[in-house]
Amino acid sequence: MLKYVMLFLLPVLLSGCALRPPRSPAWHRDSQPPLFTFVQLNDTHIQDPNRKPLPYEKCNEKVEYLVKSFNEGKHFKLPDFVLLVGDIINGGATFARPASIHENVNDLQEAKRILSGLKCPYYTVIGNHEYIGGSTNAAVYSAYEEVFGPDKINYTFLHKGVLFVCMDNFRDWGKNDGMTAERNVWLADIFKKYPDTPKILAGHFPVYCVRDEDVFLKSLGLNINWMWGDSTRNFLKENKETVIAFLAGHNHLTGVIDVEGIKHIVVSGTA
């Protein structure tokens, strides 16, 4: 099975992965070309330019630059696809009030406009900034579904023998609410349907802390930066022989750890 992931990190921005065939006794890293390449990009926090102020300096322009540089092969040749792992937009939410559907739709439309310039396909994963209101019912998906479609919440795509499993894991906090339970049924079915297919999972929230946990908690003062619940961890443990990696963002820092042979890759993003 494909268990080797070669990871290249462009500092603080994004990760590009090249997947290679299984090792053999005479295998060397550069002896054969990768099966395919892709770019992980997250926490771009794109915002409707007509709503001021912008949350992060030049947040939109940074993504526009990356789209242009990917298309031109400025740093590396055009990847097979780009995978956006959540917080694609900033959204209208503040600590004082939730986002409105109008604000988030406008942000998402701006993101789609920028990303549509890519000369390769792109796939999206929902993050907490794409949510509308609270996190207890399907209405939170309304803006994201309007722009990217209802089939882009929990879904899969197969690329050259590797199954990418894109999932909403925002509520994976051990509360076992109805939406998480429904997602878990879907996830179990995916593993049952593709028992031997190599998989890469992508969810906005990291499954584990990828830095020194004590330092991380001391810096932030609270833990909202990786999942408390065990449902996703259990799926990974039970299927570790076919899972290559779990891709995440949210923390606005970069880290990679290995847990039972699975690479947990967190990328800081552009914001």
Alpha helices (H) in the chain, listed in sequence order: 59-72, 101-115, 142-148, 178-193, 213-220, 231-238
Question: Model confidence at 51, in pLDDT bands (50, 70, 90)?
Answer: confident
Name every residue whose Cβ is closer than 8 Å to that of residue 202 and which is 6 or more positions away in sequence: 40, 83, 85, 125, 164, 165, 166, 167, 246, 247, 248
User: pTM for this one?
Assistant: 0.86
What does the alpha-carbon distance between residue 17 and residue 80 come to, in Å, rounded to a whole number?
10
Check whether 157 has a pLDDT greater than 80.
Answer: yes
Q: Check residue 271 and give its pLDDT.
A: 86
Q: Check residue 7 and give its pLDDT.
A: 40
Check whether 15 has a pLDDT greater than 70.
Answer: no
Share of the chain above pLDDT 90, in %: 52
Percent helix, strand, coil in the chain (nearest 5)?
30, 20, 50
* Cβ-contact 180, 135 below 8 angstroms: no
Complete DSSP assignment for 133-147: S-SSSGGGGHHHHHH
Q: What confidence tens digit (pLDDT) does each residue in 17-45 have?
A: 555 444 433 334 556 788 899 999 999 99
Average pLDDT of the residues in 233-257: 91
